[in-house]
Amino acid sequence: GENVEQHPSTLSVQEGDSAVIKCTYSDSASNYFPWYKQELGKRPQLIIDIRSNVGEKKDQRIAVTLNKTAKHFSLHITETQPEDSAVYFCAGVNQAGTALIFGKGTTLSVSS
Amino acid sequence: KAGVTQTPRYLIKTRGQQVTLSCSPISGHRSVSWYQQTPGQGLQFLFEYFSETQRNKGNFPGRFSGRQFSNSRSEMNVSTLELGDSALYLCASSGGQSGSEKLFFGSGTQLSVL
């Protein structure tokens, strides 16, 4: 089945710096890659996603890139702010196409 | 539109007991997925239901089971609780045809096994 590896597990940056989180997946048939953000004590929420027919997608300060050949995708956050501090999860789709399989998460800390 | 509702919010049980958690999806959503969240292990997939049918199950022992009712509400049950079952259990609903589309999560049930 699908396996999603996420790195790093923790990331600390200064306000204004960029942050990059990387994920690799195992199932070459996967075609949908979302990113969820979970603030402390809150529920995970979708922040951006990408489908396999595009290589990059941007939404203001966040962007996701996909390299299907290498089977990895990345989340890029520019001009980080303290409110970006959270746990970020990447995900891929299971073989049956019925569920999301998540990476173990990256705890991002942005200090001002 | 009300969000995904999970009850109870907190549960304390002892080893060997069983527990039932409830999830009410967003109105109109037919897919409900369950995840176990623990520090360091992230969100581990338990199972996904669509129209009362379990379509997939994650790598969890048979002590973990669930069901979905005709109104799409779902329950999960854990029997013979172990200390390692202490976790936040999240359910999520999706408005599409599967749990691989945009998920809306509930606030979770925090289970503590003593």
The residue type at B30: R
pLDDT value, residue A53: 82
Indicate left, alpha or beta for A82 from its phi (over 0: left) and psi (-120 to 50: alpha).
Answer: alpha
Q: Which two tokens stand for residue B41?
A: 């292990």
What is the band of A30 on the pLDDT scale with cuts at 50, 70, 90? Answer: confident
Evaluate if residue B1 carries a pLDDT over 80: no
What is the band of B45 on the pLDDT scale with cuts at 50, 70, 90? Answer: very high
Instruction: Indicate the average pLDDT of chain B.
Output: 95
pLDDT value, residue B76: 98
Tell me how far apart the alpha carbons of residues A100 and B7 are, in angstroms, rounded to a whole number.
Answer: 23
> What mean pLDDT comes out for the span B11-35?
97
What proportion of chain B, given as a percentage, has pLDDT over 90?
89
Residues of B within 8 A of A5 (CB-CB) are none
Are A43 and B105 an interchain contact pair (Cβ–Cβ within 8 Å)? Answer: yes
Question: Which of B33, B42, B98 is facing A89, going by the closest CB pair?
Answer: B42
> What mean pLDDT comes out for the span B28-56?
94
pLDDT value, residue B103: 95
pLDDT value, residue B98: 81
Q: How many helices (H) and strands (E) does chain B have?
A: 0, 11
Residues 6+ apart with CB under 8 A from A79: A16, A18, A61
Question: Which of A32, A99, A104 is facing B41, going by the closest CB pair?
Answer: A104
pLDDT value, residue A43: 97
pLDDT value, residue B40: 81
> What mean pLDDT comes out for the span B5-9?
98
Are A43 and B45 an interchain contact pair (Cβ–Cβ within 8 Å)? Answer: no
Helix (H, G, I), strand (E, B) or coil at A82: helix
Residue A95 class from Cβ within 10 Å (0-12 exposed, 13-18 middle, 19+ buried)?
Answer: middle
pLDDT value, residue B96: 84
Q: Is A8 on the interface with B (CB under 8 A)?
A: no
Q: Convert the pLDDT of each residue in A71-88 to its tens digit.
A: 999 999 999 999 999 999
Q: Is A64 on the interface with B (CB under 8 A)?
A: no
pLDDT value, residue A96: 87
pLDDT value, residue A28: 81
